[in-house]
Chains A and B, each alone.
Chain A
Amino acid sequence: MDRSLKWRTFALIAAVIACVGILLPTFIGRESIPTWAPGLFRKEINFGLDLQGGLHIVYSIDLDTAVVDKAGEIKRDLETRFREEKPTIEAEVKTPLKVTGGVTVIPKDPNKRAEIEAAIKTDYTDTVENRSCESTDPQTAICIKVSTKYSEDIKKSALANAVTTIRERIDEKGIAEPSVVEKDDQIIVELPGLDTQATQATKDIIKRTAKLEFKTVDNFAVPMSKLYAKAAPDDENKATEPRARELGIYAVIDDWVPDEGERQQDYYLFARDRKEWTPLDRAEKIGCKLKNDELEVKDGKVYCEIKGFQVLEQWLTEITAADPSLAIPDDREIAYEFVEPSKDAEGVWREPHWRSYYLKRAVELTGTSIKNARSSYDPNTNRPVVLLDFNRYGSRRFGDLTAQIIGKKLATILDKKVKSAPIINVAIRGGSALISMGGGNDAQRQQKEADELVNVLRTGSLPAPLREDSSLEVGPSLGRDAIDKTKLSFGLGIILVVIIMVGIYRWSGWISVFAVMFHNLLTLTVMTVFGATLTLPGIAAIVLSVGMCVDGNILIYERIRDELLLGKSVRGAVDLGFSRAFSAILDGQLTTAAGGWVLLQYGSGPIRGFAVLLLVGVFTTLSTNIWVTRIFFDWYIAKKKGQAATISI
């Protein structure tokens, strides 16, 4: 027996043992595997939603946000128009907070009211309709809102958009067989039974609104100076106002000198996260209860961690309730940024904290103006950053905007939190922006955060935040009884293959039966190793590749028969049979692989499940046909020492 055959036999036995070892946890359960076994031998096959069920999550989405956004857009359009037509038409445009989708236009010159109203009506024929003004509005105000019909349309497309976005996000995570459908004004997501950690990670990524906005920081503002006066720190960095002192809040002066222009000054509020006994309903509202489900409850209160921005929000609500003159106007807002622990310029260690920004509420630019997002490294800080490339509209708008606010700050806001607010020293016309990652000094976490952000920014933002309404477990979408039937048909199919192959090719038929079994074993092993998900379409692909595998064997066998009939020796016929059949097998497999690859690129959900298994099947078919079957023939020939007159084929 030649050495190569020995080695091949040894390799085949090793492969079978390895495959059985890897598949063992799937059949006997992961718990039965000793803990010292390497991770590879502790993996189970992931079954898809259709085979083992999973989580059925209902999300509701606040679609009014989409209408409010539309109102904001109308406001921006009108402002641009009034600016261009100055001084003929001058008017102030507001979007009142109380009315969803409301826009209020206050003409400077009351005589122009009719003219402005007519202009709006022609510009937005079907988009807006009249509404009654608030009592606080001046007599001349034109009060409109996004029309009922149009807002229905907006909501409808926002919902469809959300469904697509969620589907893409899950696909990008590589989970097979998710199901995302809209239900009236809610969205149902079904995720296959992943482990708890993976489910949580997927839920997190689904829920990310990923709403990216750019707003200008309004410094030198009067309301902020009033707040400063209220919460100015004493020598010990503690506020003078008793409540702020209690909550650990104080105000800070922020000043900077831009490259061009005069010195700028701003005030901001400073707060740290704090732990305190909080009433249950408030704890639930601010979400600190989620951290640990087993929190101890005492007198209807829990000890929970309140984030710095929540502390600031609380204080602001309290003091504006006590003194309405401190309230900020409708067209301004306060947003918060989490400042990572770091050393400042003088080398003094700064604790992690939250700071406020006083912003103009109008959105200058949104995530929809982004062409692409990618993760990268900032060479200065050595931290992962996410680079945003604007599209043509976005880069022009960004350029104009930065030109207008030279010397001031521009805030990048992601999901209502300020991510950065750099000083704009020159107009930025390059068409890209940058978000640096938080996450302390944990490089791995930063990278993960950056990758997630790239995923959500690429798939686009959700039109509004999602709220998880319910989450419950569903059984296989196919039903357990149907799965049993599938198993039966799979078994019957195999038996039929055995009967036909053994009936026609006798002993060689048994070889191909073994080859098919090895092929299935290998396919499942490859799947397990790569963590692909087995779904019903996947099983269909396996059955298909069983067919391809048998087909390959038949090609080889017929070729060998032909050669034998031509009078070749057994050894010669086997050699020629394999080498000549190979090209036909390869052609067939490569075209199948091409089809599978295309399906993987453009398909989603069930189609991907099929494509993955088809590609794995192509690989395993090739290796079993060329390699495994051959070993058995070589064995036989070696046993007969080349003297065999014929073979059982």
Chain B
Amino acid sequence: MSEHHKFRYLLPPGNNFQFVNKFRAWLVMSFFLMAGAVGALVANKSMRGDYMNWTIDFKGGTEIMFTFKENGNYTKADPGKIRAALDKSGEQHVEVSEISWDEKQNGNDVTVNGMIIRTTRFSALTPQIQDQARDAFIKAFESPQCASDPTQCVISRATWSGGDRFNVRTKKPIKNLIAEPAPDQAALSSDEAAKAFATVTAGGTPLEVKAWSRDEAKQYLQMDEGTKEFIEWFAIRGIDRQFELIMERGVNPESCAADVSAAGCIDVVAVQSYGVGAKAGDKLRDDAAKSIIYAIFLIMLYLAFRFDIRYAPGAAFASIHDAIMVIGVFALTWTEVS
């Protein structure tokens, strides 16, 4: 051995870890680790309701578009501040992206800078409150004869969907149940619905219904030719309102807390909120599973060709073992999977 080579080592040479010698101990440990990983998945399912901490990519959720206004004019907000405010509020899995579009304002094209917020939450309301609100709505608008004679029923469907939207199918527009329609009183039926919803409270405040815009009213008050029914949507100020408040607190100084429309304060306005489906649908999941199987097969094939078929299962097992370990750590630490 020549002595004149001076190498630096992370670990001094000559040490000998007896890995293979204690293979039984390793095997037992590996088994327990894998069992632990699977156990973590099961525990999550039973305690947290899902195996892993899926993000909106896998679960879908609500997408809300916001604009920012100062003294009634569009303005911009600092995404860093918004993100910090959301982090502080304890909202999980929130994605923030900036968005811009052109809008006509007083005859001029104005670029509006807004934000899109995506969250995995589908609703700000608990299922109990949703049920209460539904019952209140039906009580207010269903014909009294419905209970005794089903042919007299007016409401054929009333369900909640993503983004706190209440979807109704009725034989008459609900406005019609109150008075004869007047064409330019666009917001009338959303006002009437608002009265019904206001009887229900969530967290101490009554539910608030967003008034229909003229376009919405025009669309909702038209009968569907096929089903001869009216399909109407009512949006509750729910998640979007919660986010508005969080963001207003984040972008404004303390002094704005009382009135965000005051000078120097930014008013956060939710323009639209809607439920969205998962980006990674079933097909993507199937493809992922398929690709894992094929990849392992290919690697085994290569090992068999390059070395010996007997090495292949070991390598494949090692790969699977590693994958399970990663899943286990993600499950145990409840890290977001996106």
Contact = CB atoms under 8 A, between A and B. Distances in A.
A561 B5 contact: yes
A303 B280 CA distance: 46
Interface string B1-40: 1101111111000000000000000000000000000000
B161 interface: yes
A18 B299 CA distance: 35
Interface string B272-315: 00111111110110011011001100110011001000000000
Interface stretch (B93-101, B136-144, B177-185): B93-101
Contacts of A441: none
A139 interface: no
Interface stretch (B188-196, B222-230, B251-259): B222-230
B97 A598 contact: no
Contacts of A591: 299, 302-303
Contacts of B228: 131
Interface string A580-599: 00000001001100110111
B290 A481 contact: no
A56 B226 contact: no
A184 B4 contact: no
Interface string A44-59: 0000000001001000
A56 B1 contact: no
Interface in A64-105: 64, 67, 98-102
A598 B156 CA distance: 49
B85 to A, nearest CB: 13
A644 to B, nearest CB: 11
Contact of B101 (A188, A473, A476, A505): A473
B63 interface: yes
Given A56-B116, A184-B275, A565-B1, A151 B226 contact: yes
A590 B305 CA distance: 12
Contacts of A30: none
A23 interface: no
Contact of A481 (B2, B60, B83, B278): B83
A98 B223 CA distance: 13
A503 interface: yes
B276 A646 contact: no
B1 A567 contact: yes
A506 interface: yes
A611 to B, nearest CB: 9
Interface in A558-581: 561, 564-567
A489 interface: no
Contacts of B225: 98-100
A433 B16 CA distance: 72
A180 interface: yes
Contacts of B278: 181
Nearest to B277: A182
A477 B116 CA distance: 9
B328 interface: no
A105 B248 CA distance: 61
Interface in A351-366: none
A148 B283 CA distance: 28
B173 interface: no
Contacts of B276: 181-183, 188
B279 A179 contact: yes
Contact of A605 (B7, B80, B226, B284): B284
Given A181-B277, A594-B299, A595-B295, A474 B116 contact: yes
A183 B277 contact: yes
Contacts of A594: 295, 298-299, 302
B162 interface: yes
Nearest to B63: A183
A181 B101 CA distance: 20
Contacts, number: 146
A602 interface: yes
Nearest to B114: A472
B165 interface: yes
A649 B7 CA distance: 7
A602 B303 CA distance: 22
Chain B interface residue count: which class? Answer: 35 or more
Chain A interface residue count: which class? Answer: 35 or more
A604 interface: yes
Given A145-B226, A184-B275, A473-B100, A480 B287 contact: no
A75 B295 CA distance: 48
B79 interface: yes
Contact of A607 (B60, B95, B288): B288
A391 interface: no
Contacts of B169: 148
Nearest to A471: B101
Nearest to B293: A598
A504 interface: yes
Nearest to A480: B79
Contacts of A470: 101
A216 B306 CA distance: 61
B291 A602 contact: yes
A595 B315 CA distance: 14
B226 A565 contact: no
B100 A598 contact: no
A189 to B, nearest CB: 11
Contacts of B2: 564-565, 567
A602 B227 CA distance: 41
Contacts of A53: 97-98
Given A477-B95, A567-B1, A595 B298 contact: yes
Residue in A67, A473, A505 with the greatest tally of chain B CB atoms within 10 Å: A473
B277 A646 contact: no
Given A145-B226, A479-B97, A598-B298, A183 B79 contact: no
Interface in B231-277: 274-277
Nearest to A178: B279
A472 B1 CA distance: 71
Contact of A100 (B1, B10, B224): B224
B96 A479 contact: yes
B281 A479 contact: no
Given A181-B279, A481-B83, A594-B295, A472 B100 contact: yes
Contacts of B294: 598, 601-602
Interface in B76-115: 79-80, 83, 95-101
The 8 closest A-B pairs by CB, nearest first: A100-B226, A475-B98, A472-B101, A602-B291, A182-B277, A594-B298, A598-B295, A602-B287
10 contacts: A100-B224, A148-B169, A180-B279, A479-B98, A591-B299, A594-B298, A594-B302, A602-B291, A605-B279, A605-B280
Given A64-B226, A183-B277, A607-B287, 10 more contacts: A183-B274, A474-B97, A474-B99, A475-B99, A506-B8, A567-B1, A587-B302, A591-B302, A594-B295, A594-B299
Interface of A: 53, 56, 64, 67, 98-102, 131, 145-146, 148, 151, 160, 163-164, 179-184, 188, 470, 472-482, 503-506, 561, 564-567, 587, 590-591, 594-595, 597-599, 601-605, 607, 645-646, 649
Interface of B: 1-2, 4-10, 60, 63, 79-80, 83, 95-101, 116, 156, 161-162, 165, 169, 224-229, 274-281, 283-284, 287-288, 290-291, 294-295, 298-299, 302-303, 306
